[in-house]
Amino acid sequence: MYSHDMTENEPSMPDIVVLPENLEEVVEIVKIANEFRTPLIPFATGNNVGGLTIPERGGIVMDMKRMKKIEVDEEDMYMVVEPGITFGELKAYLDENHPSLIYSYPLAPPYTSVLANAILDGLNNLSTRYGAMSEWIQGLEVVLPDGTVARTGGNAVSESWFSRAPLPDLCGLFISWQGTTGIVTKGALMLIPALPFRKRFLILTYTYSSAYHLIMKYSRMRAFDEIAGFSWVAGKMFFLREGTIEKSEDDPEFMLFVEMSGNSEEEIKAKEKLLKGVIKDMKDEVEEPLDVEDMVKTFPEYSKFSEFPTTLDFLLDRGGGLTWIGSYGPNKKWVEGAEGGSKILERYGFPPLLVARSMKEGHYQVLRFIVPFKRQDKKEKRRVRECLKDLSQFLLDKGYIPYKMPSWLAPVVWERIDKGYLQLLKKIKMAIDPHGIMNPGKLGLG
């Protein structure tokens, strides 16, 4: 389980796997790895879709699953979690002990790590309002490659992890660095108040342009918690676990989910009115909103699209492999990106499975192209690699930047990156990890 993941990335065996239980044990292991110049790979649950915990050069895999502490500060609305806490555990814990607070949950299985998702800049259901999950981080506890323990954010001074501001922000040294600068042993993450009423709608659109029109209109209304969707492929795969799928002439292109919450039924009704008002003049391009609760009554499994975290196991039913290029980018290129990326997938013989989300109230967008594939089929794996290469170049051309990028992709991105930025990146890496022991090979940083 430590040598591979569900992606097409090549497996590689670790030399040792260690499972620390607390900070002190982490520090000891890091010091030993540093002394013997041994690669050290942090591993939370191994469910990233980018080969990020594959020990490319062997060494020590540090599996953090035994570090499972969680503390909640209701007054300041944050929690401090260790890396072993999964979304399933977090949700159960909050629902039972702190029902007035919620976190943001991903379109990912309940057994994925909360802290890994945050420090890898994942996107969750409330990212439509609050942005990528790194923006929920209020502070980190980190073990540096020499064994130094550092705390970033407000907790560096205060007893409370109330905010990342106002000190010089060092959290960023460990966000999206894929474990190449240190081992994150704790993270303070923002919680938000749970509102008692909630409703979710599904709107089918017949073109990406009409989907985009709705996404932008809804995003700027500041009334909705989630604005996200899938291409038609997900709708069909949900109903058909096997066999080829094809878009028929009258199929909608995109399934847009919009979720709202409120303090009263009246507030929900008012938001529903806003939602329906936008599509009043678009009847030729979109279907009227469907109440997801009704869909779930008929097909209980449809809750996979409405309750997060979620297991989209129907994607894995097609051969056990799953990979993607997920990217964040500018609004104005979303339609071109969605259409062009879909064509690339089709050209390589894969269904154009796209996941999209409006981020931070419409400041930017997500384009994530997913490729389920047959893991045991070497030819198909090669086709996947070629397809992902083309797709990533195309997305970069559109100004979209991949997140959780696999090792092979980092150099492709660096080719286009600001030279000063790359120098700074390398200087920081060298300053923090001079012997290059931390997750070597990742981010193309040696």
Partner 1 sequence: MEIISPSEPGKLNILALIIRELFLKKGKGINVKKNFSVGIKAGKMSSTLTFGEGYLEIKNGISGKINCLIEGSLGTFLSLTSKNPFFPFLRGKLKIRGNPVALFRFLKIINSVLRSEK
- Amino acid at residue number 35: E
Residue list 187-226, contact with partner 1 (CB under 8 A): 204, 206
Answer for the pair 342, 335: CB distance below 8 angstroms, yes or no: no
Of the candidate spans 49-57, 172-180, 232-240, 407-415, the one that interacts with partner 1 by CB under 8 A turns out to be 232-240
Strand partners, 231: 254
Which of 75, 159, 250, 418 binds partner 1 (CB under 8 A)? It is 250
Residue number, 204 or 268, with CB nearest to partner 1? 204
Query: Which three-class secondary structure state does DSSP give residue 153?
Result: strand
Which of 21, 35, 294, 336 binds partner 1 (CB under 8 A)? It is 294
* Number of residues counted as binding partner 1 (CB under 8 A): 27
Strand partners, 50: none
Q: CA angle, 246 as apex, 242 and 250 as ends, to 5°?
A: 130
First-residue to last-residue Cα distance in the chain: 24
- Amino acid at residue number 36: F
The reply to whether 289 sits near partner 1 by the rule CB under 8 A is yes
Which of 131, 139, 235, 440 binds partner 1 (CB under 8 A)? It is 235
Tokens 């749970």, located at residue: 194
User: Angle, to 10 degrees, between the axis of helix 334-347 and the axis of helix 378-397?
Assistant: 160
Q: CA angle, 427 as apex, 60 and 35 as ends, to 5°?
A: 30
Residue number, 230 or 324, with CB nearest to partner 1? 230
Of the candidate spans 105-113, 160-168, 229-237, 338-346, the one that interacts with partner 1 by CB under 8 A turns out to be 229-237
CA–CA distance, 325 with 174 (Å, rounded to integer) = 22
Of the candidate spans 64-72, 280-288, 329-337, 379-387, the one that interacts with partner 1 by CB under 8 A turns out to be 280-288
Residue number, 95 or 294, with CB nearest to partner 1? 294
The reply to whether 245 sits near partner 1 by the rule CB under 8 A is yes
Of the candidate spans 49-57, 249-257, 265-273, 322-330, the one that interacts with partner 1 by CB under 8 A turns out to be 249-257
Segment holding 83, helix H or strand E:
none
The reply to whether 287 sits near partner 1 by the rule CB under 8 A is yes
- Amino acid at residue number 68: K
The reply to whether 281 sits near partner 1 by the rule CB under 8 A is no
The reply to whether 269 sits near partner 1 by the rule CB under 8 A is no
Strand order in the sheet with 16-18: 16-18, 60-63, 40-43
The reply to whether 13 sits near partner 1 by the rule CB under 8 A is no
Which of 198, 217, 236, 333 binds partner 1 (CB under 8 A)? It is 236
Question: Smallest distance, Å, CB 233 to partner 1?
Answer: 11
Answer for the pair 143, 241: CB distance below 8 angstroms, yes or no: no
Cα 290 to its chain centre, rounded Å, is 26
Answer for the pair 249, 158: CB distance below 8 angstroms, yes or no: no
Of the candidate spans 42-50, 113-121, 145-153, 240-248, the one that interacts with partner 1 by CB under 8 A turns out to be 240-248
Binding interface with partner 1 (CB under 8 A): 204, 206, 232, 235-236, 239-240, 243-246, 248-252, 284, 287-291, 294-295, 297-299
